[in-house]
């Protein structure tokens, strides 16, 4: 059912049957380390390039998901996936061995929100019974794409985030089972919000306005307030973006300060791990969702959460040409079952 300008409430709930997370060693050493399914000690994942390593991490996440859920390749109707690399090559080479139709998505680090959103529509509308949504990133392939060669060993400003090496994959189903972790009951699609910021080393600030826009529209469309949720979880705003988000929503009359959690802040111990503003990348919130967040929902710690991956819509070319870094945030409303 359409709600407001961009929200949907599903008349038929969509079930999160299972999730799988594969991360790198740095993420494994972080505060959430014990929750991930696989911690890959080799940053190359046995491959000979960073991009292939990211693809292998995607493949491992899909395999882990199939193993945990007992669902086979032939039962999956569509894979919806994306990553940060130009032309989504991590996804192409990560999922091409599966004989499953692919819908490639790009929403920068908001991709997991976009993927879960579209996947939920497919399941809720009866277009598919079982769908996988996934997103990945890799520290080194992202540094190579967006920042500096690792060998250059540049200094990083404190506003910069550290791209997570990881992939999260989620299996959505139309039917509930004993294994079902949670359900998705609605979404709010993101709009591009551009405050004109141009600092690609401060992406939290670039994305926070988009998160504030999507979250406030969600409250309006669903007629809810922050206290209706156990957690309001953004993707990778980091410590600077978090502050801006809380301020912007406060200006709109919503105090989320006691409810807000950012996957980028949680995934590393910034002081000990030298990650500055926090973690980022498509794989950041995707891997935290499929590990810690799902566990909290499964254990009854949380009943109702908003999952709001945030993306910075830039490329090396747009940055070098002096363009701004617009943000986008796609919201998924998740409830325990």
From residue 4 to residue 43, what is the string marking binding to a copy of itself with x (rule CB under 8 A)? -xx-x-----------------------------------
Which residues, numbered 217-246, are part of the site for a copy of itself (CB under 8 A)?
none
- 142 touches a copy of itself by CB under 8 A: no
Among 23, 62, 71, 95, binds a copy of itself (CB under 8 A): 95
CA–centroid distance for 221 within its chain: 22
Query: Measured from the CB of residue 108, what is the shortest distance to a copy of itself in angstroms?
Result: 7
Listed in sequence order, the residues at least 6 apart from 87 whose beta carbon sits closer than 8 Å to its beta carbon are none
Site string for a copy of itself, 96-125 (x = CB under 8 A): x--xxxxxxxxxx-----x--xx--xx-xx
Q: Is 82 in the site for a copy of itself (CB under 8 A)?
A: yes
Per residue, what are the HEC states of 10-26?
EEEEEEEEEEEEEEEHH
Q: Choose between 185 and 270: whose C-beta lies nearer to a copy of itself.
A: 185
The tokens for 226 are 């922050």
Q: Which of 35, 68, 77, 257 binds a copy of itself (CB under 8 A)?
A: 77
CA dist., res. 164 & res. 23, Å (int): 8
Residue from 34, 42, 49, 272 touching a copy of itself (CB under 8 A): that is: 49
Rg (CA), the chain: 18
Q: How far, in Å, CA of 286 to CA of 80, rounded?
A: 13
Q: Indicate which single residue of 63, 129, 199, 220 sits in contact with a copy of itself (rule: CB under 8 A).
A: 129
Q: Is residue 198 within the footprint of a copy of itself (CB under 8 A)?
A: no
Total interface residues for a copy of itself by CB under 8 A: 58
Residue 70 gets the label, from left (phi > 0), alpha (psi -120 to 50) or beta, of left
Shortest distance, position 74 Cβ to a copy of itself, whole Å: 8
- Min CB(142)–a copy of itself separation in Å: 11
**Alpha carbons 91 and 52: distance in angstroms, whole number:** 10
The span from the CA of 303 to the CA of 16, in Å, is 14
Distances (CA, A) of 61 to 82, 108, 171: 13, 19, 11
Q: What is the largest CA-CA distance in the chain?
A: 53
Q: N- to C-terminal Cα distance for the chain?
A: 21
The answer to the question of residue 316 lying near a copy of itself (CB under 8 A) is yes
* Residues in contact with a copy of itself by the rule CB under 8 A: 1-2, 5-6, 8, 49, 51-52, 77-78, 82, 84-89, 92-93, 95-96, 99-108, 114, 117-118, 121-122, 124-129, 145, 189-192, 194, 313-318, 321, 323, 326, 328
């Amino acid at each position: 059912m359409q709600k407001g300008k961009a929200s949907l409430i599903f008349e038929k709930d969509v079930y999160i049957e299972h999730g799988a997370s594969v991360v790198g060693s740095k993420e494994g050493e972080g505060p959430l380390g014990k929750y991930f399914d696989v911690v890959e000690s080799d940053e190359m994942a046995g491959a000979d390039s960073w991009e292939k390593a990211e693809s292998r991490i995607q493949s491992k996440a899909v395999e882990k998901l199939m193993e945990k859920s007992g669902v086979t390749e032939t039962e999956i109707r569509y894979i919806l996936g994306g990553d940060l690399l130009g032309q989504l090559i991590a996804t192409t080479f990560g999922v091409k061995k599966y004989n499953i139709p692919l819908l490639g998505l790009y929403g920068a680090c908001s991709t997991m929100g976009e993927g879960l959103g579209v996947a939920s529509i497919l399941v809720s509308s009866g277009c598919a019974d079982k769908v996988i949504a996934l997103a990945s990133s890799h520290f080194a392939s992202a540094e190579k794409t967006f920042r500096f060669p690792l060998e250059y060993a540049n200094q990083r400003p404190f506003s910069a985030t550290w791209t997570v090496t990881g992939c999260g994959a989620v299996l959505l189903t139309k039917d509930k089972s004993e294994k079902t972790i949670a359900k998705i009951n609605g979404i709010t699609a993101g709009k591009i919000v551009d405050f004109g910021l141009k600092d690609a080393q401060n992406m939290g600030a670039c994305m926070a306005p988009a998160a504030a826009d999507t979250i406030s529209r969600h409250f309006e469309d669903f007629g809810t307030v922050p206290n209706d949720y156990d957690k309001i979880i953004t993707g990778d705003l980091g410590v600077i973006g978090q502050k801006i988000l809380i301020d912007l929503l406060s200006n709109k009359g919503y105090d989320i300060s006691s409810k807000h959690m950012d996957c980028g802040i949680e995934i590393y111990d910034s002081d000990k791990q030298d990650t500055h503003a926090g973690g980022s990348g498509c794989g950041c919130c995707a891997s935290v969702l499929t590990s810690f967040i799902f566990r909290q929902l499964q254990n009854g710690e949380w009943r109702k959460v908003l999952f709001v991956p945030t993306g910075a819509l830039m490329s090396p070319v747009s940055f070098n040409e002096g363009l701004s870094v617009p943000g986008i945030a796609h919201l998924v409303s998740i409830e325990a079952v």
